[in-house]
Structure 1
Amino acid sequence: MKGILFFIVALFLGACGYIPTSKIANNIFDDKVYVNVELSLQDPRNSIFVADTLKEMVISKLGRKLALKHEADDVINVRMNNLEFTPLIYDKNGYVISYKAKLNLEFKVVFKDGTTEHFSTSGSYNFDISPNSIISDAARYEAIRAASSEAFDEFISVIAIKGHKRATQY
């Protein structure tokens, strides 16, 4: 029974032309990628959190190797446009107990052939804190990490669609 169900699901996904975005991204980026995250002068500490997360995402989600700029085939330049923490929920005493971290990133990709693409993405993450407390470094880091990951996923989806269109044109 499990075999029949697996066959039906595989047939359905194969028939509708489903291709994972990571597979499409393989056709877009070459093996070596340089990731440059512009550090924000207003918020350098959070910029470093974003940089670490994005570099990790290039390795884990794209399966690419990080390289020095002069060795890289493709260059991904990232700028953190905005990071804000917005209170979502207050307790009965008026203390904030839930926040939303919203991160806006701007990507400029320079491909091996010299063409460039610009993308703006955003990511968000909701998290709780104890009443009458400040946002801890661990909660802040986790929120930035999750929002960065969501923004990077959006970037990959958009670039995969553009890359798929580009690949089918040639």
Structure 2
Amino acid sequence: MTVLPEPPAATAAGQANPLTDAVLRAAVDNLVHEARRDSTSPAPGRDMPPMSARTTEITRAVMYCSLATVPPGLIAVAVLVASEHANPTVIGMICAAPAAIAVPILAIARLIRRAGEAAPTEINQYYSGPVRQETHVDERRAVWQKDVHKPRR
């Protein structure tokens, strides 16, 4: 049986425990060391490398440009509300304008994609000698089906 050492005697109220103080001091020193180390070397993301300076500048410019559209929009809303000409139908149409532009574009893109998928693939086969070619198209859609086309001999 292992004999455990006796715990240190409790200190009186107001007296410092040197062991506790040393542990706390070491924990704080470790935390400061880790914080300094983390701030000096940028840690890459999980799957992405750190962004280049140019990419960071472009991202920052996009954010600033998008934020620049907020004040004119707020001013327009304030003018409409102050003049009492804020029509809910007009505001709804203004808010729906991006969707009204995007829906036809998405529909055309989908139509083009489907047309590309529906186009038959071109098959070029080159043979030397006598060749017999048969093509069977089966339009049935079933999980289990019997093959009614038997090869001719």
| TM-score tier (shorter) | under 0.3
Q: Which has the larger radius of gyration?
A: 2
| Larger RCO: 1 or 2 (CA < 8 Å, sep 6+) | 1
Larger helix percent:
2
User: Normalising by structure 1, what TM-score?
Assistant: 0.23
User: Normalising by structure 2, what TM-score?
Assistant: 0.25
Larger strand percent:
1
